[in-house]
Amino acid sequence: MFTSSHRRFNPLTREWVMVSPHRAKRPWLGQVEKRTSDSLPAYDPDCYLCPGNERAGGIKNPAYTGTFVFDNDFSALLPAVPHEKDENTHPLMKAESESGICRVVCFSPRHDLTLPELDLPVIQNVITAWTRESVDLAARQDIAYVQVFENKGAVMGCSNPHPHSQIWSQSILPNEPAKELASQTDYFNQSQKKLLHEYIKEEQRQKDRLVAVNEYFTAVVPFWAIWPFEVLLVGHGSAARLNDLNSAEVESLADILKRITIRYDNLFETSFPYSMGFHQAPADGLEHKEWVLHAHFYPPLLRSATVKKFMVGYELLCMPQRDITPEVAAQRLRELSDSVHYRSAG
């Protein structure tokens, strides 16, 4: 394995990332984030996501006891967008109307429990909610893609600490899924094999970047990871979308989500921030034999609970760059407990 600067290729996006292992020991005198408190009440009367509380426009939440789903009060996409004509006729300046539906999924009524601290049946209920809403949105003729994602932590732009995720659906295929569709389609057409299944087989053989494995899923720090402790979660079966999973696979998905996020929290003994999302096959009614259901975890923390990775300078102008290698990151995560959360360990 390389011990000096090199670059690695991401076959999903067909882009490169620079890896600079020798920089991992450089001193840090830069930005230090304020450490957030892990102490939250089970119920917050001022939280607009807690049961029975009022949201924007005077809407009152029901006294929900499981998951709670509602249309986002401040949606980035709107379902009834007028088809406006772009008056700019220059070929280098294109714009077009874009419509969609955005929903919020509260994990549970508990204001203080994130994914790693939820019981497995509760996490399964969250997966069921993601699946149900994905199916409902994908069935609409004006929807081409459904994105399930969670932003965890204020450092990731999360505006409310009550554990929740979002589902954005829209009328076109967005940039990142479009890249992955092209790559997986080309690979399948050339080999009659699924790109991500072949990749995971090799990761299981090498073992250096494995984080967690169970019967139906494998989690790795990908060979081409950009973020310090990035994780790619890949299904072993034929599922291309969440609704393709059977009951045993849903149980397995809940198990590995909990194990990944416990390890994250245990790494710096903090409620570990990240952006996580599932990449499902497009909502076009086609089978998509090339597509493998998978999820990406993009956490920003680098050295501690207060030092994060910045994408600036070279990263913005040239290509992504990382210091610690994916192999070192995976080893650090593997060495942590994935069954006992640091808060419950006392």
Mean pLDDT computed over 306-311: 86
Q: Which of 38-42, 59-63, 116-120, 150-154 has the lowest mean pLDDT?
A: 38-42
For residue range 166-215, what is the model confidence (pLDDT) as tens digits?
Answer: 999 999 999 999 999 999 999 999 999 999 999 999 999 999 999 999 99
pLDDT at 84: 75
The residues, any chain, with a CB within 8 Å of residue 328's CB and separated by 6 or more, are 21, 24
What's the confidence (pLDDT) of residue 29? 44
Residues identified as active-site: 164
pLDDT score of 39: 84
Place of tokens 């070929």: 91
pLDDT of amino acid 262: 98
Q: Which candidate, 83, 96, 323, 115, places its Cα nearest to that of 226?
A: 323
Helix 195-206 to helix 175-191 angle (10° resolution) is 80
Confidence of residue 346 (pLDDT cuts 50, 70, 90): low
Split at pLDDT 50, 70, 90, the class of 307 is confident
As a whole number of angstroms, the distance between CA 60 and CA 6 comes to 54
Do 297 and 260 form a contact (C-beta atoms < 8 A)? yes
Residue 36 confidence class, pLDDT cut points 50, 70, 90: low
Under the banding of pLDDT at 50, 70 and 90, the label for residue 146 is very high
Q: Average pLDDT, whole number, for the chain?
A: 93
Q: Are 122 and 250 in contact (CB under 8 A)?
A: no
Query: Rounded to two decimals, what is the model's pTM?
Result: 0.95
Homologous superfamily of domain range 38-76+97-334: HIT-like (3.30.428.10)
For the segment 293-299, the average pLDDT, to the nearest whole number, is 98
pLDDT per residue as tens digits for the range 12-35: 999 999 999 877 565 544 454 555
**Contact between 87 and 30 (Cβ < 8 Å):** no
Pairing of strands 294-298, 231-235: antiparallel
Burial of 304 (0-12, 13-18, 19+ CB in 10 A): middle
Q: What is the pLDDT of residue 80?
A: 79
Q: Are 127 and 254 in contact (CB under 8 A)?
A: yes
Nearest C-alpha neighbor of 244 from the set 125, 135, 129, 171? 135
Relative orientation angle of helices 120-138 and 247-268, to the nearest 10 degrees = 120
**37 pLDDT above the threshold of 80:** no
Question: Residue 28 has what pLDDT?
Answer: 41
In the prediction, which pLDDT does 97 show? 87
